Each structure stands twice: as C-alpha cells, then as structure tokens.
Amino acid sequence: MNDAPKPRPAAKSRAAKPRKPKDAVDPAVENGVSEASAEELIAELVEAERAAEAEEAAIAEAEAAADEEEPLEDDAETEVEAAVEGDAADADEASDDAADEPEPEHEAADEVVVEVIEVVEVEEIIETVDEGGVIEVEDVDGVVVDVIPATAASRRLAVLGSPIGHSKSPALHRAAYAALGLDWSYDQLDVSEAGLSAFLDGLGEEWRGLSLTMPLKQSVIPLLTETDRVAEQTGVANTVLLDGDDLVGFNTDVAGIVRALSAAGLEEARYVHILGGGATAASALVAAAELGAERVDVHVRDLQKSVWLEPLAHQLGLMIRIRSFAQADRSLDVPQLVISTLPGGASTEAIYTDSTRRRAVLLDVAYDPWPSVLATSWQAVGGRVVSGLAMLAQQALLQVRIFVSGDVLQPLPDEEGVLQAMLAAVGIDAEGAPVGDGSVEGEAE
C-alpha cells in the first residue's frame, strides 16, 4: 500500500463551459444564441452544480466518520480519500496502520510503569538496591529506606589524642558498628599535636574516619580541606571524615551536649555558667546559645588566654562575662545550668552554694574519676548531675552517622537500638546515670 496520502479530488468547476474560439462560428446562429442552445447550456450548468454538491456531501460524510473513529492525524486524509473514491481496501489498511502507530504503545507503557511502582513489594526494592551495592537495610517504613553502602566493609577508624588510654570511645563505637552489622575496626592511638600532620598524611584508603580528643581539636583545623558549619564557627573539630582525598571536619560536641541535657530533662537555659576556657568551652558556648541562653559567665584560671571566646559569644548574640574561678558564685542570680569543661581530676576554686547546687543542673564533661569533685558536691545536696559520659555517647552516635553515611543529619538504621547498645557498652542509662555496678571511668574528650 502506498503510505503517501492521496490528494483530495478537486471539486468540479461550477462555471460554464469555455466558449468556442471566435473564429468558429455556428452556422445556425449568426446573431446570438438560439433558444435550443441556451436550454442545453443551462441544463449542463445545473447538472455540474448537482454533481459538485454530491461530491462535497460525500467528502463531509467521510470526514465526519473519520472524526468519530479518531484516527491518527497522519492517516485522517487517507481515510477520507478512501471513502470518497470508494476504495474499501485502502480504508481498511489505513485503519490497520492507525492501530499500529507507536504513540498509543507509549501510553500503554506509561500505564504499566505506574502499575508496577504501585504493586512492587518493599522487599523487592531492597533486593534491587542490594545488587547496586547495599549490604544492610533496616527499619523500612515504606517511605524512607536507610541504607549502608557496600563500600562500608572492612574500614578502619580510631580516636586520637594524648593521653588516650582512658578513652571510652572504642567501647562506644565498636558497640555501634556491631549493632549495625559492620565489620569495622576502631582503635585508640596516642598522637600528639606535633605528630598529627604526619599521621594524617600516612593514612591509606582503608581509613574512614577519626575521633579527636585533647589536645587535637583545634590544631587539626588548618589540616582539613573542609569543615561543617559548627566546626567553622567554633574553630574546633572533634571528627574527621576521610572522603577520598578530602579531610572533612565536624564538631559533634555541641549537639552531644544539647542531646545529653535533653535526655536528662533540660530543654532550656537562659543563664549559664561555663568552667574552663579551652576547646570544649567553645562548644559549650554554642550549646548554651542553642538552649536559648541570653547570658553566659565563663570562669577560668587565666583571663587573657580565654578572651578568644568573646567574639564567638558576640556572634551568637550572647552577653558574656569572663571571670576568675573565685567569682563563680558571687552573684545573686542563680544559673540554670553549669557546664564544667575541666579535665578529669582538675582542681578548681569555683565554689557554689547549696542553694545554687540544688537549683542548677551540672554537666561535667569529665568522667574520670567519677564522680568528680563538683559532681560529688552536687549530689550531696540532691542536685541534678549529668555525666560527661552521656555527652560522649551522644556525640559518638553523631560520629557514627558521619562515618556510615557521610551526613551528620542522616539517622542510622534502628538508631534507638544502636544508641542503647552504645549506652550499655559504657554502663549508663539514657540520662547518663550509671547502671550495673556503677563504675564509670574515663576523661573528658
């Protein structure tokens, strides 16, 4: 069959037949047209007009029938011509071509895709993702599927610091990766400030991340290729993600403080005291701002060494006073929260009255020895105390998020179960209180 559309037949002219040339003279008529000739001419004109009208009616009828059947645009004229010319065979073939056109097939394919999406089981989706490199999937709720990349197998991690033997980070992280089903190793390595750069340069591809404790949280900043907002804001990073050739720094101490206090029931504090002026004090300052603080008093041994905290406080919109330890509780205003960032076993001249210790919550980031001198004085009058181990566990949970997914905001599969495994590994409950024999040893990290 010829696929090219046949031209629509032209309607016959309704004009009179062309006249004879002037030199052809009818011998029967010399002066005009005879009556018989005129009648013959009129009959011919009427017949031509009727034929034209019949042809137009046939064309209109064929077009109407084609519109009702909704053929494809390319074949519409073909069907009209077939109807006009009476070529039934061509008309049938045109209909067959219209049925075979690809456009309706596309519409059917779209419908199939939608239908498959609606009926595929979640387990089938998981199997597909597994083929693409997923080694574990947990807590599928039909909306969000948490996955762990297959590249997570056999990775190395460690906590760095000096001294480092006291650290509870290995117990926390190992419990987390065991709960996640990851065969990852996590060690503790004694690394000084002077040796940090060389250590980072010597790391191989098997390394995924590092936790940092004293005295490395500030000295690592110039060695990083990128930092998150909180690390940039505080000038402190306690977490390093090794992502190809990049060293990405994070600060999870701030969120660790806020989450530990929230778990203990403290969601807000307008007036806060901070003891100590080191790296953790900067994180405590930002945490105070996140808790809604308006005023912060920072008590230190050396006022000059702590003035670097003032610009950060002003950036956070906080009123800050830097004072000596001896002035810690000389005001009539009672703080709602006292955060001690002093190393474990460090002595302090800060003395708080019984009234303050009953009314203010104490977070002591140190946990070796425990209870600390401050914690003992708070407990003696029935005050509320949050152990630094609770903060350590909460910030470690966020580190695990980073090491697993690269995103501190991406929750872990069965995150609550992972946190419970971590807390059990160091012998505390969700509020940081010791469980079991109550023995908790370690130092602020």
Catalytic pick among 17, 22, 217, 305: 217
Let me know if 217 is a catalytic residue: yes
Query: Where do the DSSP E strands lie in 131-227?
Result: 134-138, 146-149, 156-161, 185-190, 207-212, 226-227
Is 0.85 surpassed by the pTM of this model? no
What is d(CA 251, CA 271) in angstroms, rounded to the nearest whole number?
23
Identify the pLDDT of residue 77.
47
Statement: residue 262 has pLDDT above 70: yes
CA distance 212 to 208: 14
pLDDT value for 63: 74
Tokens standing for residue 279: 């790296």
> Are 178 and 425 contacting, i.e. CB atoms less than 8 angstroms apart?
no
- The two three-digit tokens of residue 254, written as one number: 């701030």
Label residue 360 by pLDDT band (50, 70, 90): very high
End-to-end CA distance of the chain: 85
Q: CB 345: neighbour CB atoms within 10 A?
A: 11
* Token pair for 55: 């042809």
Please report the pLDDT score of residue 69 as a whole number: 56
CA distance 242 to 19: 99
| Residues 53-69, mean pLDDT to the nearest whole number | 73
pLDDT in tens, 402-412: 999 999 999 99
Task: Please name the residue that has the structure tokens 């456009």.
Answer: 103
Q: What is the dihedral of CA 361, 270, 280, 252, to 10 degrees?
A: 100
Distance in angstroms (rounded) separating the CA atoms of residues 47 and 37: 16
The SS3 of residue 374 is: helix
